[in-house]
Amino acid sequence: MTAVESRPAGVVLTPSPGGHRPFGARVKAFVALTKPRIIELLLITTVPVMFLAAQGVPDLWLVVATCVGGYLSAGGANALNMYIDRDIDALMDRTAQRPLVTGMVSPREGLVFGLALAVVSTLWFGLLVNWLSGALALGALLFYVVVYTMLLKRRTAQNIVWGGIAGCMPVLIGWSAVTNSVSWAAVILFLVIFFWTPPHYWPLSMKVKEDYARVGVPMLPVVASNRVVARQIVLYSWVMVAVSLLLTPLGYTGWFYTAVALVTGGWWLWEAHALQSRAKAGAAGGKLKEMRLFHWSITYVSLLFVAVAVDPFLR
């Protein structure tokens, strides 16, 4: 989450014309536009899939090229997202320090930066990896910017469900980078991330729902009670764990991945049901402890995809 300074929400700190904007701070601001911490999570799901696709160690140059292309593509999508959402970002406490809100980067600069990354990343993939990966990366970018940010985010409580498809694409990109194709293994892992995204993000949305309510973004916790949100989290969690276990019976993974998927999935379900129990009991504020599941969700997906990478060496 972004640090927030103590100032009224909605006050945009825009430098005066010709105002001093230090070079170092400007560089950091452009990097911040790419949302590096989110991209770290995307790469966690990309690289292990390349190991599974290669059934061993993939070409290391290919891994580097795919990671660089993935960073550029996701960074472009995130920059364009901030450009489009700069109006509501100025009103939300957790986004009040984003570069387009503070004025460290102008809207025009942010738009040009995002578009440039979109073009460069597509060409990078096409020329240095393969054009299938380039098409998938461009599709993910367009889906995130157009479908999620422009069409779904401010209109429906299902925004994160369908908008999350963009976050699933790195799995397909990683597989296609190695094989220049897409297989059922990649589709299954795509679905794992698809069903993981809502129960990963909804606990955070529960924590900051006042922010979303203030700007009229209908995240599920804004329009539904904690009991309803927790029930949805449990349903998605069960489907996610079930889907994660499909790789082994279909012959793509062995005992190690299965053991990790069972243990981590079991712990996830424990945390999801615990959240539901607290919601049913009427817990609110700090007593709801919704961030326990949010933090565990990041650990879960990291461990699961590490197992994806390690499993080929133990079969």
Percentage of the chain beyond pLDDT 70 is 94
- Residue 79's nearest CA partner among 43, 46, 119 is 119
pTM of structure: 0.90
Convert the pLDDT of each residue in 236-285 to its tens digit: 999 999 999 999 999 999 999 999 999 999 999 999 999 999 999 998 88
Contact of 181 with 131, CB cutoff 8 Å: no
Contact of 138 with 131, CB cutoff 8 Å: no
Which amino acid makes up residue 290? Answer: E
Does position 307 have pLDDT exceeding 90, yes or no?
A: yes
Cα–Cα distance measured from residue 285 to residue 277, given in angstroms and rounded to the nearest whole number:
15
Please list, in sequence order, all residues whose beta carbon lies within 8 angstroms of the beta carbon of residue 111, skipping any fewer than 6 positions away.
80, 83
- CA-based torsion, 78, 79, 82, 84: positive or negative: negative
- Residue 6's nearest CA partner among 104, 96, 105, 102 is 96
Convert the pLDDT of each residue in 199-234 to its tens digit: 999 999 999 999 999 999 999 999 999 999 999 999
Convert the pLDDT of each residue in 127-179 to its tens digit: 999 999 999 999 999 999 999 999 999 999 999 999 999 999 999 999 999 99
pLDDT category at 42 given cuts 50, 70, 90 is confident
Does position 5 have pLDDT exceeding 80, yes or no?
A: no
- Residue entry with tokens 């972004």: 2
Percentage of the chain beyond pLDDT 90 is 86
Position 315 scores a pLDDT of: 82
Cα–Cα distance measured from residue 201 to residue 209, given in angstroms and rounded to the nearest whole number:
12
Tokens of 119: 């073009």
Number of Cβ within 10 Å of residue 315's Cβ equals 10
The burial class, CB within 10 Å (0-12 / 13-18 / 19+), for 266 is exposed
Please list, in sequence order, all residues whose beta carbon lies within 8 angstroms of the beta carbon of residue 20, skipping any fewer than 6 positions away.
none
- Residue entry with tokens 């601001």: 29
Classified as helix, coil or strand, 91 is coil
- Residue 298's nearest CA partner among 196, 185, 173, 222 is 196
